[in-house]
């Protein structure tokens, strides 16, 4: 019997995207990621969202929005097909989430970090790129 490939958006949402599977997905992500502050809540995002501002690019799509125990926001994306602009795509989503973290009365000093995790079904970086150009962690001061 063939198994469904959960690396596709459709299959991922079928397997993990129901209310009944939220706890399973939460446990799975916490076990795999082994974060200092575990994920306490997550939402499977509707992939067909209208942009927040007229004229924005309509590809504001992430698979999962998560909230960590310390208030940090996280986006998780599953990408099965190698797009030439996958890094820029992820950065765009990360910036969008970062821009929506604060509530109207919050101070900018209250901004919490935002983490992006992209799971790919292809090699994104060569070993040389990982050694020389890829930044795996950064912090703005």
Nearest to 40 by CA among 21, 63, 68: 68
Residues 19-43: tens digit of each pLDDT? 778 888 889 888 888 888 999 998 8
Residues 40-98: tens digit of each pLDDT? 998 877 655 555 555 555 544 557 888 999 888 888 887 777 878 888 888 888 888 88
51 in any annotated domain: yes
140 in any annotated domain: no
Range of the domain at 58: 9-132
93 in any annotated domain: yes
Strands (E) located in 1-141: 39-44, 64-68, 73-79, 114-120
Q: How many domains are there within the chain?
A: 1
């Amino acid at each position: 019997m063939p198994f469904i490939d959960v690396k596709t958006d459709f299959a991922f949402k079928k397997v993990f995207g129901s209310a009944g599977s939220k706890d399973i997905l939460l446990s799975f992500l916490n076990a795999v990621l082994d974060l200092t502050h575990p994920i306490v809540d997550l939402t499977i995002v509707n992939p067909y969202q209208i942009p927040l501002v007229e004229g924005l690019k309509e590809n504001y799509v992430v698979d999962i929005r998560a909230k960590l125990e310390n208030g940090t926001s996280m986006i998780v994306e599953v990408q099965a097909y190698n797009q030439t602009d996958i890094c820029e795509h992820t950065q765009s989503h990360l910036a969008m989430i970062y821009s929506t973290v604060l509530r109207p009365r919050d101070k900018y000093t209250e901004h919490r970090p935002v983490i992006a995790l992209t799971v790919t079904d292809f090699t994104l970086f060569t070993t040389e790129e990982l050694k020389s150009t890829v930044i795996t962690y950064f912090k703005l001061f």
